């Protein structure tokens, strides 16, 4: 039933205002917890959902980096994705400018996929990069003729077939994802990847400085 605006200070107004004040105090408590997990605002960028996923997966947010990435007890970074089936979505989003560099990064991480119905968490799947390799290879073929792909979707059916379900709504606790995917081998891969990226950025900055000096001479 649509909300009808009550008369100001009527019993209905006072009731609703009191209710929202109580609920808002609970949200402040939730926000305090979120800050401990590196989430500055639960109302922005699906912050509340990310907090729920981090707690269920027993992870923390990757510091100083945007996105839904989490890090587990081994120090392994995860690509965290979610899907709201109430909106009719049947695919997990990737990146609006997906290119070879992003695919390379995707190959260094295991993935978690949380399925929501509105705000209700229904399932969580985990999937290794090897299971996603057919999609990565398909995207690379498409990139032979274009610089980037506009947000290719990962079908939910693909995740259900190739991933492992670690949580179903109603379960008291999820399965520890680290018992499903051994993330130790990922750690060295990620370290090598980030060291190379850091080195390449440093070399690019040095090249720009050299080019700038050359134009000034």
**What is the set of active-site residues?**
69, 79, 81
Strand 111-117 and strand 164-168: pairing?
Answer: unpaired
Per the listing, tokens 């000096």 go with: 213
With beta carbons less than 8 A apart as the criterion, state whether 7 and 13 touch: yes
Rounded to 10 deg, the angle between the 11-36 and 47-57 helix axes is 50
Q: Residue 201 corresponds to which tokens in the numbers above? A: 């950025």
Q: Residue 128 corresponds to which tokens in the numbers above? A: 């290794």
Strand 77-84 and strand 111-117: pairing?
Answer: parallel
With beta carbons less than 8 A apart as the criterion, state whether 85 and 120 touch: no
With beta carbons less than 8 A apart as the criterion, state whether 62 and 70 touch: yes
| Cβ partners under 8 Å of residue 143, min gap 6 | 99, 100, 103, 149
With beta carbons less than 8 A apart as the criterion, state whether 125 and 160 touch: yes
């Amino acid at each position: 039933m649509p909300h009808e605006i009550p008369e100001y200070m009527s019993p209905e107004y006072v009731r609703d205002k009191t209710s929202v004040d109580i609920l808002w105090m609970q949200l402040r408590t939730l926000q305090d917890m979120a800050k401990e997990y590196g989430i500055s605002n639960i109302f922005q960028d699906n912050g509340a959902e990310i907090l729920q996923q981090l707690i269920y997966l027993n992870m923390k947010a990757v510091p100083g980096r945007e996105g839904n990435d989490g890090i587990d007890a081994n120090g392994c970074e995860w690509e965290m994705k979610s899907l709201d089936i109430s909106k009719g979505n049947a695919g997990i989003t990737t990146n609006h400018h997906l290119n070879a560099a992003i695919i390379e990064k995707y190959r260094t991480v295991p993935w978690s996929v949380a399925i929501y119905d509105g705000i209700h968490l229904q399932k969580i799947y985990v999937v290794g990069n090897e299971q996603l390799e057919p999609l990565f290879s398909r995207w690379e073929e498409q990139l032979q003729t274009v610089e980037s792909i506009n947000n290719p979707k990962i079908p939910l059916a693909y995740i259900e077939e190739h991933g492992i379900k670690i949580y179903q709504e109603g379960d008291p606790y999820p399965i520890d994802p680290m018992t499903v995917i051994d993330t130790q081998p990922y750690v060295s891969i990620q370290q090598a990847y980030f060291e190379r990226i850091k080195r390449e950025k440093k070399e690019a900055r040095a090249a720009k400085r050299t080019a700038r000096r050359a134009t000034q001479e």
